[in-house]
Amino acid sequence: MMKMEIRPLLMCFALCVVYATSKPTEKKDRVHHDTPLSSKEHDDGGNFDYDHDAFLGEDEAKTFDDLTPEESKKRLGKIVNKIDADEDGFVTEAELKAWIKKAQKKYIYDNVERQWKDFDLNNDGMIGWDEYKNVTYGTYLDDPEPDDGYNYKQMMARDERRFRMADGNEDHVADKEEFTAFLHPEEYEHMKDIVVLETMEDIDKNGDGFIDLEEYIGDMYNHEDEMDEPEWVATEREQFTEFRDKNKDGKMDKEETMDWILPADYDHAEAEAKHLVYESDSNKDGKLSKEEILNKYDLFVGSQATDFGEALVRHDEF
């Protein structure tokens, strides 16, 4: 089997690799922020471009050009059927929020879709740990001291720990959603602890279970080249002392590290879901019928639509 296996393996350690090869004056950032729903201004008085981007994803919204209102409504109706997860005939705020989050993360699901076929060796629609391990590591474990400097046994153990956490029903195999959580743990609430743990293991060089100031700076800034520290390094030292180390004991524990790398950002998807429901809920019952959504089609998709309708046929995850 070709050694393409290293690609997904390195994904789990992408931060380490990127940091090790970055220029010494560049700042490395481990903080995970949600991307904006749109680069456009949210101004319903002028147009609904922001809402279109939020509802469909910015790239998909661009391709909703040149459709007639009739075609837009037709495709929107198909989308509504997908949003109504419990198939009760109504779209709730929670369902709309989930849809917006998924639409905004479409690139992640597309990435998982591309990788899925590489790992589901028996084509049963599931990926077991042994399947992932065999594809990812293959014969690498046969050599206890490989020339490339990687400790594959250690990396495999770390991958297995993450795989087991992503395996929500503990049946030792991953469906597509569980595999997505494994590959992109920062996107899932129940995976946050593993993101924090892996980050701390990467940075905690003395193995005491904490991140001290020098470890914090050392992770961001490569000291190897003898040059004056850039100004941002001094700023980060101050950030650590004043804000990161909340209990002022000179180091970051698990909770402080989580606050740093996974900050509680403003939930744009929730705010947009509330906005769309408020603007479309004509009978004010707190949920949207398909008719209510289609009556406000210009808010959701306008007379611009996307190849999203075709995408719904091609990719059942949406």
pLDDT given for residue 145 in this prediction:
67
DSSP letters, 292-304, are HHHHTHHHHTTT-
pLDDT digits (tens, 9 = 90+) for 45-80: 778 889 999 998 887 777 666 778 888 889 899 999
Question: Which range (31-35, 146-150, 210-214, 276-280) has the least confidence?
Answer: 146-150
Whether pTM exceeds 0.85: no
What are the boundaries of each domain within the chain?
48-210+253-307
Would the pLDDT of 205 be above 90? yes
Would the pLDDT of 244 be above 60? yes
pLDDT given for residue 63 in this prediction:
67
For residues 263, 269, 273 and 274, what is the CA-based torsion angle, rounded to 10 degrees? Answer: 30
Q: Which residues fall within 8 angstroms of residue 299, CB to CB, at 6 or more apart?
A: 44, 48, 51, 276, 279, 280
Backbone angles phi, psi at 212, to 5 degrees: -90, 180
- Better-predicted residue by pLDDT, 184 or 33: 184
DSSP letters, 23-72, are -TTSPP-----PPPS-SS---TTT-SHHHHHHHH-HHHHHTTTT--HHHH
Question: Quick one: DSSP state of residue 262?
Answer: S
Tokens of 266: 């403003």
Mean of the pLDDT values across residues 233-241?
95
Would the pLDDT of 316 be above 50? no
Question: Which range (2-6, 62-66, 210-214) has the least confidence?
Answer: 2-6
pLDDT given for residue 6 in this prediction:
41
Nearest residue to 165 (alpha-carbon basis) of 187, 181, 186, 184:
181
pLDDT given for residue 23 in this prediction:
45
